[in-house]
A and B are shown apart, each in its own frame.
Chain A
C-alpha cells in the first residue's frame, strides 16, 4: 500500500541554521504530495504542496520539490527561526483514488535562539 517515510526527530537547530527534513514515498500512480505543520496547541496546517513531478511547493521560506525519480519530497529552509519550532508531517494523496491523506510519522523541530 501507499506509505510515507520521513526522517524521525527530534531535530534541534540554532536560529538561522539550514533545515532539511527528508521524506520519501511509495505509491501507485502519481500522488500529490504535501507538507503539514503542527504548531504547539494547534491543528495541522498545510505548509506547501506539489501535484506533479518537478513541481516546487513553497511557503514561508520553506521549499520542497517533487522528485519522481527518487520518490522524494524533502523539506528545506535556508534560515530557520524560533517560530518555526513545530512538528512537520509529510503526506501524500493518490490521484484518482481515495481522498484520504497518508502521513509520515512526523518530525519534531526545535529551534533555539
Chain B
C-alpha cells in the first residue's frame, strides 16, 4: 500500500510569488492534515479535512494560505503571495480512524522563500 506522498519535495521561490503544494493521502483515508515546521521550531498544525470539508482550520496563519481538497482525495495548499517567514517544511498526514489517533505522515515539502 502506498504511503502519503507530497509534491514537490523542494521548492525555492522568491518573495511575492505563488507556490502550490500537493498531498496525496493513503487511499481510503478520509482525514487529511497539514502541518508546518519552521526552522528550529515545533511542528505546528495548520488544518484538518474530513473528506472535502474543512473540519478545523484554526492553525492557518493568515489569508495568504488556501487549502483545498476537491473530491475528498488529494489536497493542495497554496501560498499567495509567499513571504520570507513562510519558509519551512510542510507536512501532510492522513488517517482512517480518528479513534486510533494514528496519523501517517508524508516526507514533507521543503519550501524556501528568498
Contact = CB atoms under 8 A, between A and B. Distances in A.
Interface of A: 4, 32, 34, 36, 41-46, 49, 51, 89, 91, 93, 98-106
13 contacts: A43-B91, A43-B105, A43-B108, A44-B105, A45-B105, A49-B102, A91-B43, A100-B59, A101-B43, A101-B45, A102-B45, A105-B41, A106-B37
A43 to B, nearest CB: 4
Nearest to A93: B101
Interface residues of B, number: 29
B107 A41 contact: yes
Interface of B: 3-4, 31, 33, 35, 37, 40-45, 48, 55-56, 58-59, 91, 93, 95, 98, 101-108
Contact of B102 (A41, A46, A89, A103): A46
Contacts of B108: 43
B89 to A, nearest CB: 10
B98 A42 contact: no
Given A43-B3, A44-B91, A105-B40, A100 B101 contact: no
A43 B4 contact: yes
A100 B91 CA distance: 13
Contacts of A41: 107
Contacts of A102: 42, 45
